[in-house]
Amino acid sequence: MFKVASIQLGIGEEDKSRRIERVELLLDQAKGANLVILPEIWNIGYFSFDLYSKESETVNGETARRMSQKAKEHGFYLHSGSFVEEENGKLFNTSLLFSPDGKLIARYRKIHLFGYGSQESQLLSRGSEVVVVETPLCKIGMCTCYDLRFPELFRIMLNKGAEIFLVTSGWPYPRLEHWLMFNRIRAIENSVYLISSNCAGKNRGTQFCGHSMMVDPWGTIVASAGDEECILQAEIDIEKVSSVRSEFPAVKDRVL
């Protein structure tokens, strides 16, 4: 058993430095968890497309450094949510995973970029690597928001041994029902835990839908949030992944 915390952050129009400070305080409140996850492009706000280039950072930038320090300070694995990463003149929607000693152990660049009512696909380059990282807790698969609509990605993570999917997100209204369904479906069809961290609040006039959740391999919601800022917490029994797959072997029975 280990403890997981999902920080559903309220996004407004505050500047980046202030929001990082506020996230650090929330991470302090998550002390005692073994694994913590933050939402998508939380430091500037997903819909702040005008800031993407100006506020982009490298993997050694301020946001990453301060998240690394918090992981080390509290001794937990920290999925830092995502930020706009700059490398060689290209921009990516990038998530980082830090170990309890503050070491960067995984980087995932969002593969499926959103274009419907969004400038993400115009401004950013898509990633190409499917990321599953083995830790003493479990094998963790990383994905971001719109990725939820593409089951093939999750099958590849399953093939790589994933036992938990970590989903960082900035999912808005009015597509709440899609969000609620995809969180459960991706857990059910792959017999894994799914832990999501979505934004709350309003950014550039768009309302996020919140409802971060933790879903077990049967598709049962272990913990869920509403649409306000909060810290969602639960205990995870990773042995349940193998027991569910043994009891109901749909994963083993697939032929494609």
Contact between 222 and 234 (Cβ < 8 Å)? yes
Token pair in block for residue 5:
């915390």
Domain count, the chain: 1
C-alpha torsion 239→210→199→81, nearest 10: 10
What's the chain's length in residues? 256
Q: What is the pLDDT of residue 117?
A: 85
Per-residue pLDDT of the chain (256 residues), as tens digits, is 999 999 999 998 899 999 999 999 999 999 999 999 999 999 999 999 999 999 999 999 999 999 999 999 999 999 999 999 999 999 999 999 999 999 999 999 999 999 998 999 999 999 999 999 999 999 999 999 999 999 999 999 999 999 999 999 999 999 999 999 999 999 999 999 999 999 999 999 999 999 999 999 999 999 999 999 999 999 999 999 999 999 999 999 998 7
Q: How far apart are CA 245 and CA 218, in angstroms?
A: 10
What is the tens place of the pLDDT at every residue in 159-209?
999 999 999 999 999 999 999 999 999 999 999 999 999 999 999 999 999
Domain of residue 165, residue span? 2-253
For all residues of the chain together, what is the average pLDDT?
97
Q: Which residue has the tokens 């499917």?
A: 130
**What's the chain look like in SS3?**
CEEEEEEECEECCCCHHHHHHHHHHHHHHCECECEEECCCCCCCCCCCHHHCCCCCECCCCHHHHHHHHHHHHHCCEEEEEEEEEEECCEEEEEEEEECCCCCEEEEEECCCCCCCCCCHHHHCCCCCCCCEEECCCCEEEEEEHHHHHCHHHHHHHHHCCCCEEEEEECCECCCHHHHHHHHHHHHHHHCCEEEEEECEEEECCEEECCCCEEECCCCCEEEECCCCCEEEEEEECCHHHHHHHHHCCHHHHCCC
Domain containing residue 162: CATH number = 3.60.110.10
Which residues are designated catalytic?
40, 110, 145
